[in-house]
Structure 1
Amino acid sequence: MTTIAVTGHMDLTESTVPLVQEALRSLLRVYNADELTGVTCLARGSDTLFAEAVVEAGGHLIAVLPSQDYQEAKVKPDHAPAFNRLAAVADVVIMPYDTANRDAYEAANGELLKRADRLVAVWDGKPSTGKGGTADTVEQARDAGLPVDVVWPSEAQRGA
């Protein structure tokens, strides 16, 4: 069994989405469906694209939600259909925080890494702008000795 966690940018441009989707599909092709588990927080952008690729590959999905109010507080109406569809097929783990905040996000990222054999980072390689961003999660994974696969196609871009 291989358990792969994901971290990545939420603000991918529209033209970047299909590039990242194909890169994730390609990365996951080497795993047998019955031996693949994906772990994600189901945030918009990279987390959702990864979750969709895991489901498409026939793998098992675990969703680690940072707080009790995460869906109501942080899932915007345009993202809700994908979030709900993926949460419905995942084993959902809710972190013991009432409110979605920086501490809850950091704890959720720690839980992702605890469960993982490796990390996929949809990451432009730049430092985090705040505590607990993609770069910080990559650094924590590397410090813990987890292999990290960085996915950032050459034409990928982040939006505003």
Structure 2
Amino acid sequence: MRLGITGHRGLPRESERLIRTALNFTVQQYSPETLMGISCIADGPDAWFAESVLDHGGHIEVVVPASGYRDGLPAWHHATYDRLLRQAREVHSTGLSASDAHAHMAGSEILVGLADRLVAVWDGKPARGHGGTADVVEYANRNGVPVDVVWPDGAARDG
């Protein structure tokens, strides 16, 4: 099973705990022998999902939206990003250099194209900018990729 991930970044600490638990539950529904998680490994749900897949015994593939992507992530996340990137079975790239909304959506489109299902850590609200979680969910729906929304009771996008 090839599971992709999309989700909101910058979530409050209490939401992180709830979402990590829900992601672990979701991942554990699949056999580790055949589980491939596909992620852009940004801080937040992307990285939490990739870690959960690896902890469960599955493997990951990484999509890099732009050559400048890592530099646009928080400095405190760089070590996690680097570690997960090293653990990837395969790395896919858009070929773009600027880490902007266009590149992020292009990366998400590649991710959706590689996935059998998409896990969306999503509050159900419209995207706050082009390439946001809602846009990725809409793209998956248009392309026939089933979406599993993970938004546990008590989760909030803003703290």
Equivalent position of 1:77 in the other structure: 75
Partner Cα separation in structure 2 for residue 45 and residue 117 of structure 1 = 22
Q: Secondary structure at the match of 2:63?
A: strand
Q: Moved runs in structure 1, 4+ residues, more than 4 A?
A: none
Q: Secondary structure at the match of 1:79?
A: helix
CA RMSD, Structure 1 to Structure 2 (Å): 1.1
Equivalent position of 2:121 in the other structure: 122
Partner Cα separation in structure 2 for residue 159 and residue 30 of structure 1 = 29
Q: Secondary structure at the match of 2:113?
A: helix
**Per-residue deviation, residues 13-61 of structure 1 (Å, max 9, x unmatched):** 1011111111011111121111000111111111111111111111110
Partner Cα separation in structure 2 for residue 76 and residue 150 of structure 1 = 25
Letter paired with 2:105? E
Mapping 1:57-136, distance limit 5 Å: 57-71=56-70, 73-90=71-88, 91-136=90-135
**Per-residue deviation, residues 83-139 of structure 1 (Å, max 9, x unmatched):** 111111012222201211122111101100110000000000101121111001101
Letter paired with 1:128? A
Structure 2: state its 5+ residue gaps. Answer: none
TM-score (normalised: structure 1): 0.94
Q: Secondary structure at the match of 1:38?
A: strand
Mapping 1:35-50, distance limit 5 Å: 35-50=34-49
The alignment-based identity, stated in percent, is 40
Equivalent position of 1:25 in the other structure: 24
Partner Cα separation in structure 2 for residue 51 and residue 95 of structure 1 = 20
**Per-residue deviation, residues 132-154 of structure 1 (Å, max 9, x unmatched):** 11001101111111111100011
Partner Cα separation in structure 2 for residue 11 and residue 102 of structure 1 = 16
TM-score (normalised: structure 2): 0.95
